[in-house]
Amino acid sequence: MDDLLAEFIAETREMLEASSGEIVAWEADPADRARLDTIFRFVHTVKGNCGFFDFPRLAELSHAAEDALADCRAGRRDPDPQMVSAVLAIIDRIAQMVDAIEAGEDISNADPDGGDQALIDAVNVSRETSGEDGASAVKQGSSPRLHAPASALIDHADDAASDRAVSSRRADPSAAQRTIRLPVELLDRVMSGVSDMVLARNDLAHRLRQAGNQPTIDGPFERLTTILSDVRDAITRMRMQRIETLFSAMPRLVRDLSAELGKQVMVDLDGGDVELDREMIETIRDPLTHIIRNAIDHGIEPPSARLTNGKREIGLLAIAARQSGNTIAIVISDDGHGLDEDRIAAKAIATGLITAAERSAMSRDKILNLIFEPGFSTAEVVSNVSGRGVGLDVVRQNLEKVGGSIKVSSQPGHGTLFTLQIPLTLSIIAGLTVEVSGQRFAIPQSYVEEIVQASTTALDLSHMGETALITFRGTRVPCLMLADVLGLDTSADAARDPTLVMLRLASGDLFALAVDGIHNHGDLVVKPLAPAVMKSGLYAGSTLLDDGQPVLLLDVANIAAAHDLVSDGRARVLQPVADEAAKPALALPRAMLFTDCNGRRSAVRLELVQRIETAPVSAIDCSGPRPRVVIDGLILPLIDLPDTPVPGSENAGRVRLLRLSDGACELLVAVRQVEDAVELAGPLIPVPEDPLAEAVTLVDGQPVTLIDAHELFARYGEPPVAAGRPQCSLPADDWARTILAPLVISAGYEIVPPEAADPHTIAIVFDEVFEAAEALGRGLTGPVIRLRDRPEATAGSDTIYRYDRDALLSALTSAARFAHHPGGRA
Amino acid sequence: MTNQLLVIVQIAGRRCALSALDVKSVIEIGTVTPIPRAPAHISGITALRSQALTVIDCRLALGLVQHAWPTDARAAVVAEGGHAYALKVDQIEDITTAIGEPGQVPGGFGAQWSRVATGMIETLTGPALLIDLSALIAGPDTLRHEVEAA
């Protein structure tokens, strides 16, 4: 019984909360039908529940309100202001009673002060008359407050304060969502159960692949995979919580602070329906609170000062959340006096963060962002509101810990704007798997700027004392060897030809991490590590790969900090200044520069380049009219291959290929050497005589041919074909099964039952069967190989003796070519 | 508490007891991924279904010098402080019932053993050292730090 009661209270509260916005809106526009329906549903549900729980007073109240609302719905009466007030008063009363029930007070007794009856009368009276009676009864019955829910909504219980700080909120006419309450542990269990299922599925997939194609199993398995990924998505969304839960505390915080500081602040919340991982919400609660405190304490001026400056007496604090892709931006803006550039600069010079000379070279933006540097605080008087020893540097640190960032901009005299960027979720991140010394590690994708594969000479790797430097796009960038960082043995091979992962820290610093190889990238479900492991400062968590192997996630920020790669305030401020000067005013088209197999320097627009592939010469098939290459199980057209010799044969039988895509089609361009991505700053001069060239331009004083992508794809583009093994159907007898089948399989064909054959399937049949089928007019559609029993060929029939191995294999090969390049006959 | 169920294991040749309530399961230990630069007693992480377990070598967690102890292919899975650990021991023997309360012995168990042991406990299959899991998992370093702090 107690459980049911608790459920009832919770449900009623939830509905009150949900409908409180509706009530206010209805009050403003009583003719609004949708709001009326929502409120009607609420009183109706309360009435039903009260009957069940034997709360006669609640039942009577809700019944009266329901009657009145039902009349309005049926059009028997118009909702006049008196009636709206009366209904609102009843809803207030219901809220009070629910509180009383929860507190364990006995409300089953008859109406103590007659207030209930007065309210009921008010609803009924106003049905006939709109006289004074009803209105006064409402006032009498709805003591202590007429509009408690409305003010509760904006969180001002205190009347005295409500004229100091007025808050508003955009009430969304939210659709009534059916919800249930669940303990969080249960949710976590379901989540880990689904993760287990995904791993079990991956294991099964692995085994199925080993067992070969089994059409009867593959279909259901595909379905299982689809369902599982749907469930996984839904479960992931379960973790999400509306940022509203965080916002709901803000009006109260603002009210209390403004009261304490003698300021008038209005808070405007927007984007409360943005959803965020619930752990992330907890993480940003403190930083957000801190910034709001700062804004009210230091940003917004006292009312008198505001009036003098020609502003409204009431300051405005706007908090808005927006989702864009995988990140959430939270913007906190105030219309206070803004940040004082000179004071910040003076303070920074005084504390030794920057020198006076540096200051004069710094832009306003750079100076303002100094407030996030450790040991910085502008407030001359440390009040008890902000300045509690926790500075903005801690705010930034906490945000960076979860992969977020913060920046500030400000207009003098007009206000300040803080922008927080935070990732959507803590537990699932995009990551890159790298290998070093035979062990795999994961790196959060958000840090990865670029992956560079080149020889040490091309990168100009040099050692300055203990520090390694590489030259990347003309700048020297510090380089860490991951094997050294982790104390693993380095193989000589890897050291000679490392793969560099360029990592950009939240502070803007760039460094390179040398690894042996890159595996793949994808979404990683990150699990926490034991505290003893976390203490090493190298890892942020662990994750399981598809094959169930656990992998450690590197804590990039911490590793960089441990190697002193995070510049201190001074260097950090100086570096971007140089960057800015180098940045061209206009975004230029970028292109990938390469030397093609004929030694011509060419370029292709960077947007087209999917990847740089390295393929063994054996993956190239030159048998058809056009060369093709097999990459990742796909057959793709290959162009620009010189006749002889195969390019890059000096590269131990490997070819460099640029993989281009127009979105649907892919093709590969063989190149001798990939140089670099460049900006096309020079003028583009059209070359009408070469259809494959869009233009010729100058890069570093050298002419470069820019390839015409339109012509390229028009000529060669075709959607990728899965490199499935060619299929072959066999006669249904023991000889074919035991003697012919192994030969056909070892020749690289897949045996399919005749009923599963498609037009590309090569049918091997006995000549008798073939002739019989022809005679019956049911000839086979696909390529056919006819076998005869006797070695001697019958004149005029195209058959092969069944033990003539060579003839059989060559027939298969030509038939397979026909199957893939329809147009000729086998 | 009498009649407490205990899991008897051999650590560095000594009979030790873990409270059966703490032991979630006993698993065959699969591939262990080593963790570079982690404390010596942490052998690495291994996967148990979708969960990652931290593998603790109990012998090294006691601060004992590496020695040719036999190692059971099975490990006891325990949860401590919200994290799951797999304990590598010489051998997992059996489950038995405690008789009486854990007690001390004159002269103690020796510095390292005293750190991880709650006391000696009599069981149906003879005496064993009752292990305090959090002290065991914390490893030998904490002791040194405590000494330094004191």
Per-residue pLDDT tens over the stretch B121-147: 888 888 888 888 888 888 776 544 444
Q: Do B49 and A196 lie within an 8 Å CB cutoff? A: yes
Residues A351 and A481 in one domain: no
Same domain, A209 and A343: no
Which residues of chain A have a CB within 8 Å of the CB of B39? 532, 535-536
Q: What average pLDDT does the segment A70-77 reach? A: 78
C-beta atoms of A486 and B37 within 8 A: yes
CB contact under 8 A, A487 and B37: yes
| Gap between the Cα atoms of A445 and A428, Å rounded | 11
pLDDT digits (tens, 9 = 90+) for B19-76: 888 888 898 888 888 898 888 888 899 988 767 889 998 888 887 776 677 888 889 9
The pLDDT score that the predictor gives to residue B149 is: 42
| Domain shared by A200 and A336, yes or no | no
Shared domain check, A416 and A456? no
- Reported as a pLDDT band with limits 50, 70 and 90, residue A471 is confident
Regarding whether A394 and A258 lie in a shared domain, the answer is yes
Q: Which chain A residue lies closest to B33 (C-alpha atoms)?
A: A550
In chain A, which residue's Cα lies nearest the Cα of B80? A530
pLDDT at A723: 58
Which chain A residue has its CA at the smallest distance from B36's CA?
A486
Do residues A256 and A393 share a domain? yes
Mean pLDDT of A21-39: 74
Q: Chain A: nearest CA to B62, how far in angstroms?
A: 15
A655, A674 contact by CB (below 8 A): no
Q: Which chain A positions have a beta carbon within 8 Å of B82's beta carbon?
A: 528
User: Mean pLDDT, to the nearest integer, of A442-469?
Assistant: 78
- Name, in order, each residue with C-beta under 8 angstroms of A17's C-beta and a sequence gap of 6 or more: none
In a domain, A825, yes or no: no
Which of the pair, B105 or A441, is modelled with greater confidence? A441
Residue A574 predicted with pLDDT over 70: no
Please name which of A280, A290, A316 lies closest in space to residue A421, comparing C-alpha atoms: A280
CATH number of the domain to which B86 belongs: 2.40.50.180
Instruction: Tell me chain A's radius of gyration from C-alpha atoms.
Output: 37
DSSP for A253-292, written as a single string: HHHHHHHHHT--EEEEEE-TT-EEEHHHHHHHHHHHHHHH
With an 8 Å Cβ cutoff, are B42 and A530 in contact?
A: yes
Q: Domain range spanning residue A557? A: 430-582
pLDDT digits (tens, 9 = 90+) for A179-215: 777 777 788 788 778 877 877 787 788 788 888 878 8
Contacts of A195 in chain B (CB under 8 A): 50
In this complex, is the C-beta atom of A138 within 8 Å of any C-beta atom belonging to chain B?
no
Residue range A628-640, pLDDT digits in tens: 887 777 778 887 6
Residue A441 confidence (pLDDT):
92
Region A220-235 average pLDDT: 86
Burial class (CB in 10 A: 0-12, 13-18, 19+), A212: exposed
Q: Using 50, 70 and 90 to split pLDDT, how confident is the model at A531?
A: confident
Distance from CA of B139 to the nearest CA of A (A): 9
- CB under 8 Å to A343, separation ≥6 — which residues? A378
Asked if residue A556 and residue A456 are part of one domain, the reply reads yes
Q: What percent of chain A has pLDDT over 90?
A: 1
d(CA A380, CA A386): 12
Cβ atoms A594, A705 nearer than 8 A:
no
Model confidence over A375-413: pLDDT tens digits? 676 554 444 444 444 577 778 877 877 767 888 888 888
Which one of B37, B45, B85 has the shortest CB-CB distance to A550? B45
Helix H or strand E encompassing A406: strand A405-411
**Hunting for tokens 């990652």 — which residue is that?**
B52
**Which pLDDT value is given to residue B77?**
92
Residue-level pLDDT at A377: 60
Relative to beta strand A415-423, strand A327-334 is antiparallel
Angle (CA) B99 B101 B103, round 5°: 120
Mean per-residue pLDDT for A647-674?
73
pLDDT at residue A316 is higher than 80 = yes
Number of folded domains that form chain A: 6
Model confidence pLDDT, tens digit, residues A162-184: 333 333 333 344 445 567 777 77
List pLDDT tens digits, range A779-809.
Answer: 666 778 888 887 777 666 678 888 888 888 8
Q: Report the percentage of chain A scoring pLDDT > 70.
A: 77
- Residue A488 near chain B (CB below 8 Å): yes
Which of A196, A528, A550 is nearest residue B46 as measured by Cβ atoms? A550
Question: Considering only A160-169, A473-482, A688-697, A783-792, which range has the smallest mean pLDDT?
Answer: A160-169
With H, G, I as helix, E, B as strand and everything else as coil, classify residue A732: coil
- Predicted confidence (pLDDT) per residue in A745-763, tens digit: 777 777 777 776 677 778 8
CB pair distance less than 8 Å for B50 and A192: yes
- Higher per-residue pLDDT: A566 or A277: A277
**Phi/psi at A473 (5° precision):** 50, 40
pLDDT digits (tens, 9 = 90+) for A74-85: 777 777 777 777
A79 and A26 belong to one structural domain: yes
Residue A174 lies in a domain: no
Q: CA A628: distance to chain centroid? A: 36
Mean pLDDT of A642-671: 68
Q: What is the pLDDT of residue B55?
A: 92
Residues A718, A630, single domain; the answer is yes
- Establish, for the pair of chains A and B, how many residue pairs have beta carbons separated by less than 8 Å: 71
Supply the pLDDT for residue A380: 46
Helix (H, G, I), strand (E, B) or coil at B52: strand
DSSP A349-363: HHTTSS-HHHHHHS-
pLDDT of A648 reads 43
Domain range for B29 is 5-149
Sort residue A171 into left (φ over 0), alpha (ψ -120 to 50) or beta: beta
> How distant is the Cα of B122 from the closest Cα of chain A, in angstroms?
32
Task: Identify whether the C-beta of residue A682 lies closer than 8 Å to the C-beta of residue A697.
Answer: yes
Q: Residue A378 maps to which CATH number?
A: 3.30.565.10
Last residue of a domain, one of A548, A582, A616: A582
The CATH number of residue A718's host domain is 2.40.50.180
End-to-end CA gap in chain B = 33
Structure tokens at A466: 């203990």
User: Does the structure's ipTM exceed the value 0.90?
Assistant: no
pLDDT-derived band of residue B85, with 50, 70 and 90 as boundaries? Answer: very high
| Residues in chain A within 8 Å Cβ distance of B38 | 532-533, 536
Is A206 within a domain?
A: yes
Take residue A66 and report the two structure tokens written for it.
């329901």
Backbone angles phi, psi at A311, to 5 degrees: -105, 170
Q: What count of other Cβ atoms lies within 10 Å of the Cβ of residue A14?
A: 12
Query: What band does B109 get if pLDDT is binned at 50, 70 and 90?
Result: confident
Q: Final residue of a domain: which of A722, A753, A788?
A: A722
Question: Are A530 and B85 within 8 A, CB to CB?
Answer: yes
A290 with A404, same domain: the answer is yes
| Total count of domains within chain B | 1
pLDDT at A140 over 50: no
SS3 A385: coil
Question: Between the CA atoms of A819, A824, A825 and A826, what dihedral angle is there, to the nearest 10 degrees?
Answer: -60
Q: pLDDT higher for A355 or B3?
A: A355
**Residue A520 binned pLDDT confidence (cut-offs 50, 70, 90):** confident
A694 falls within a domain: yes
- Regarding whether A521 and A408 lie in a shared domain, the answer is no
Q: Which residues of A touch B137 (CB under 8 A)?
A: 530, 532
| Domain shared by A682 and A738, yes or no | no
